[in-house]
Structure 1
């Protein structure tokens, strides 16, 4: 068996031999970085973060969003792709659509939680009706919509040859880049939903879909390689190697532009995140590939050692709900804590929230098992 696939090959995937805990770990790392980032930006504010906090700490949290989306694609491949040509597919497709409804509900509920401390009711209602966007919870809005169209794509993906799958990924990235120059008839909300908009913190479906597709490709390779040691080693080396090259390309681009530290500060301040910019994406995706590779290399052992992150990654939605409620409803609104924390204290809060989310997930599972 080899991870090298023929260009005309259609996926013939084995089913996963049980849950792959390394995927949960990778997702948990992404959520952990996100929680730390949200604790800092939500309690201190980016403008108040000291330079030594922006680089390297807040700088490194930029791996989070790309890793989260990549793992989304990986998990889809592992859990669903092999079933698209079976009689079970209709039930699994319905499961994804019901999950979309669940995520959409929590997206709307958490908009209220996020905006409650500092927004007028009219602004909250406008946001709920897609008249504008929130900030910290918008990633849920992206997933709610993605879970509607992804089930329609998966059967086509499963029947497409490798060159078609890669071509679709590259073509979609080029299309999204071209659409950035289209005005969408002046409808900024629509543009933000489709390909991102610089004035809104929404995640465009077309601009992020290539990351989902890359995750699907990695997931296909993972199913072939994970349970064979030497093949898994090759996959890990490929992921880490490509990731390191992308990070090196980011620094090379920064050197050409003449100020490496300024480039790092720009990424830390989210320049190039919405819409996706070359420098930001080179760094973010490169780091995400390195972290994903390391999680796969660590496997079940690393998942046990880093148990809190693995548990958080095993129920991403519950972890997301927990940290948003704690930061914005409890700390900012009920305890009026905005601006009351130093940067180091906010980092500490982020760490506590990671552990708290893990404990909450474990406790709710324990309660469900003992009813």
Structure 2
């Protein structure tokens, strides 16, 4: 989710404004999410043609990992350098307020998602965390994360470099240990929020925490290396190498890659995260991130609609969920009545309409400025 931006320092004491590569990478994640929601929201997965299952729907699984990594990158770029500034309490409070705003929209869009398909009791149970939605649940993850991460950022800024680079490992280990050894006081919803639960479609704070920390690390490198084309391309090459290694690991372990990709497209191994799903999803996320960093500001301009969507991910979420569930499904009656090619066309139009709406919204709010001040 987008966070309020600061003007981050770069090597040599210079300053730069909004980083187009971050918007573009986040835009990739949101567009893939809309592609997944737009097709699967109109027809059951079993009705997808083979080419819709693999590669199209399988590739959309890059989205969630890329989203979480870019979330960490944006925090590292916009806020970590400011944790020792006199106005840090005000900046921290802006993040906390952002978390409350995201929480509000999470609850409201939960009603939008469930309206017309669930009774009032089921909706109330979901609003009270007795259950969880599906399409909008990732907003719940970001809302909670934005309520605790601001308190961690000053600690991260003071942490020795070697401890920063090791940090994803103990967090992942703790999440795994709690998942397999702790009962969470017999409350599965608490487990779902922290480390995920197979019966709930949630993103756990500790389960996905390592990806946030990876984003912190990449964001720190981006701050130092983005301004020079040579170091920026070197960083992109490093990200591409990580992607290649993860995909190689995936292929080595996969006995039947085609069948496994179909299962991954059906979210097998997504909640709680299992190795094969994680290798595929994170590998794709690093590939798209490498592309965004390599292309830099030029590629962000060439793919302007995608970058615009990435510049305000919360608005993109509000628009596409509202259109899918209120317009397509309830008003026009497209639920389980359209073919897969038509669902793809409708989704492509939805992506274009989302970009146009965000562009118009930004122009109305701040005339003459190309984007709202969020990174």
Smaller-chain TM-score bracket: over 0.9
Tell me how far apart the structure 1 counterparts of residues 184 and 71 of structure 2 sit (CA, whole Å): 28
Q: Does the aligned pair in 1 maintain the 2:11–2:224 contact within 8 Å?
A: no
Question: How far has the Cα of 1:366 moved from its partner?
Answer: 2.0
Q: Does the aligned pair in 1 maintain the 2:84–2:154 contact within 8 Å?
A: yes
- In the alignment, what sits opposite 2:190? 190
Residues 49-58 or 91-100, more deviating: 49-58
Tell me how far apart the structure 1 counterparts of residues 308 and 214 of structure 2 sit (CA, whole Å): 25
User: For residues 132-166 of structure 1, what are the alpha-carbon distances to aligned partners after superposition, in whole Å with 9 as ceiling and x for unaligned?
Assistant: 00100000000000001110110000000112112
- In the alignment, what sits opposite 1:8? none
Question: How far has the Cα of 1:34 moved from its partner?
Answer: 0.2
Correspondence 1:280-299 to 2 at 5 A: 280-299=277-296
- In the alignment, what sits opposite 1:88? 87
- In the alignment, what sits opposite 2:275? 278
- In the alignment, what sits opposite 2:205? 205
- In the alignment, what sits opposite 1:267? 264
Q: TM-score, structure 2 length as denominator?
A: 0.93
- In the alignment, what sits opposite 1:5? none
Residues 16, 144 of structure 1: CA spacing in aligned structure 2 closer, same or farther, 3 A cutoff?
Answer: farther
Q: Does the aligned pair in 2 maintain the 1:243–1:286 contact within 8 Å?
A: yes
Unaligned 5+ segments in structure 2 are 1-9, 369-375
Unaligned 5+ segments in structure 1 are 1-10
2:301 pairs with one of 284, 301, 304: 304
Question: How far has the Cα of 1:40 moved from its partner?
Answer: 1.1
Aligned length, in residue pairs: 358
User: For residues 58-84 of structure 1, what are the alpha-carbon distances to aligned partners after superposition, in whole Å with 9 as ceiling and x for unaligned?
Assistant: 011110000000000000011001000
Tell me how far apart the structure 1 counterparts of residues 188 and 13 of structure 2 sit (CA, whole Å): 43
Tell me how far apart the structure 2 counterparts of residues 336 and 189 of structure 1 sit (CA, whole Å): 33
Residues 16, 205 of structure 1: CA spacing in aligned structure 2 closer, same or farther, 3 A cutoff?
Answer: farther
- In the alignment, what sits opposite 2:61? 62
- In the alignment, what sits opposite 1:154? 153
Q: TM-score, structure 1 length as denominator?
A: 0.94
Correspondence 1:228-243 to 2 at 5 A: 228-243=228-243
Tell me how far apart the structure 2 counterparts of residues 13 and 267 of structure 1 sit (CA, whole Å): 45
1:332 pairs with one of 329, 333, 339: 329
* RMSD between superposed Cα atoms in Å: 1.6
Question: How far has the Cα of 1:370 moved from its partner?
Answer: 5.2
Q: Does the aligned pair in 2 maintain the 1:267–1:280 contact within 8 Å?
A: yes
